[in-house]
Structure 1
Amino acid sequence: MVVDDHAIVRRGILAYVDTVADLQVVGEAADGQEALAELERRRTLEVPLPEVVLMDLQMPRLDGVEATAAITRDFPGVKVVVVTSFGEVERVHAALAAGAAGYVLKDADPDEVARAVRAAAAGEVHLDSAVARRLTRRMAGPPAGLGKLTAREREILTLVAQGNSNRDIARILVISERTARTHVSNVLTKLQLSSRTQAALLAIREGLIPPPG
């Protein structure tokens, strides 16, 4: 689903998706309120929900941050990828706290948008490298408290930050997917994080992995 208050942007994404074999737009909305109404309509009619929502941040009525929070709360199976501009970087923090699964710049190459959608659908994290660098430079607050993590949990955090899904982590560490999911949940809880994307940014900030790009 594409959510943006500029019709020309939505038309552009629709035109691009038509050229990508494994992507399909199943809905669109001009703001967050309309997006939530469409998701609720689909659920009521038992129509499949979109796997990923591409979400603009600055919109009338219900903006992208509030809409992201509502979607992750009410439709937990739907992932949100924020589509942002450099001028909205401060809002990205709020969107990540609301549960966004990643973000891309509005002037990103179309192929990067496709990669972000695929990553979110697979339960992975996609960070635009330029925005990630600015966010990590601006991140404030006390140390992350990585000392709370066991050696295995630090390993899990690194793998999450590298964009691995629970299935990937299970394969790499030769553990069950359920165990991997439990480890990831424990890491997020110990570090008081609400999303894998926040975990990735924290790992960059703490030097566990280099910034993307």
Structure 2
Amino acid sequence: MAAVITIAAVDDDRMLISGLTAWVDSAPDLRLVATVESVDQLMQRDMGTIDVVVLDLMLADNSDPATNVRRIIRAGPKVLVATVMADPAHMLATHAAGAAGYLTKNHDLAELAAMIRDIHRGQQMFPSELAFAIAHDSRPNKPRLSDQELRLLVAYASGMTLDSAARRTSIRPATAKHYLERVKEKYRSVGRPTYTKLDLANRVREDGLVAGDPPPP
């Protein structure tokens, strides 16, 4: 029998909470252990009993979304951000803060549950909306990378081998090697020297594509 995934929801949308509660009650591998309206209220709970937090992007207390993500992650749970609209700036900020997933509320509860399961398994969720936001990030010294280049870069820089990263992005290893060389050249073209796997990991971390320390070279 699969392990039960414990969930907390931070949201002031009563309709969503009611729907999520009903859905979880029918899923044997999911258990909703807390529903609160702010991260401050969540922090009063036993965070060690929570696997995944579904966090509304814009809460009624006007708290900063990226700060909310960082607070929850420091306490232990993984974070899935839920929002009405896919705002590129907030998407980038919460992803850089360490959110494991980002989902707009026009998706149904089955899709939400599937993403919760994926996040709990440790899969890195990289939705097309986030790839688009990163690719069109207008901050200085950011190379313009394609969706495929971004997916490969994040997989490879997270510590995967070239072959594993190629499989993750559904391309051949030879093609993956070519893409990575092209990514390095794009970083060098904007004045950011990039030659090794460690350099790529540092660029990924600097640009907020993943959280945490770079893997060993």
TM-score (norm 1): 0.63
**Partner residue, 1:175:** none
Change (3 A) 1:161 1:101: farther
* Equivalent residue runs for 1:167-182 within 5 Å: none
AA matched with 1:139: D
Please report how far the alpha carbon of residue 161 of structure 1 lies from its aligned counterpart in structure 2 after TM superposition. 6.2
Separation in 1, partners of 2:200, 2:36: 32
Q: Secondary structure at the match of 1:86?
A: coil
Separation in 2, partners of 1:194, 1:4: 30
Return the structure number with greater helix share: 1
Give the unaligned 5+ runs of structure 1. 163-184, 200-213
1:51 corresponds to 2:58: no
TM-score (norm 2): 0.62
- How many residues align? The count is 164
Please report how far the alpha carbon of residue 188 of structure 1 lies from its aligned counterpart in structure 2 after TM superposition. 7.5
Separation in 2, partners of 1:93, 1:161: 21
Please report how far the alpha carbon of residue 126 of structure 1 lies from its aligned counterpart in structure 2 after TM superposition. 2.6
Please report how far the alpha carbon of residue 160 of structure 1 lies from its aligned counterpart in structure 2 after TM superposition. 6.2
AA matched with 1:24: R
Please report how far the alpha carbon of residue 51 of structure 1 lies from its aligned counterpart in structure 2 after TM superposition. 0.6
**Partner residue, 1:112:** 111
Separation in 2, partners of 1:12, 1:194: 38
* Equivalent residue runs for 1:42-191 within 5 Å: 42-43=46-47, 48-61=48-61, 62-72=63-73, 74-76=74-76, 78-129=77-128, 131-132=129-130, 134-140=132-138, 141-142=142-143, 153-158=161-166, 189-191=201-203
1:198 corresponds to 2:197: no
Separation in 2, partners of 1:189, 1:113: 30
Please report how far the alpha carbon of residue 24 of structure 1 lies from its aligned counterpart in structure 2 after TM superposition. 0.8
AA matched with 2:88: V
Aligned residues of 1:105 and 1:128 also touching (Cα < 8 A): no
RMSD over equivalenced CA pairs, Å: 3.4
**Partner residue, 2:10:** 3
Q: Secondary structure at the match of 1:142?
A: coil
Change (3 A) 1:194 1:8: farther
Q: Deviations along 1:140-170, whole A, 9 cap, x unmatched?
A: 4136796x97xx74445456668xxxxxxxx
Give the unaligned 5+ runs of structure 2. 1-7, 171-196, 211-217
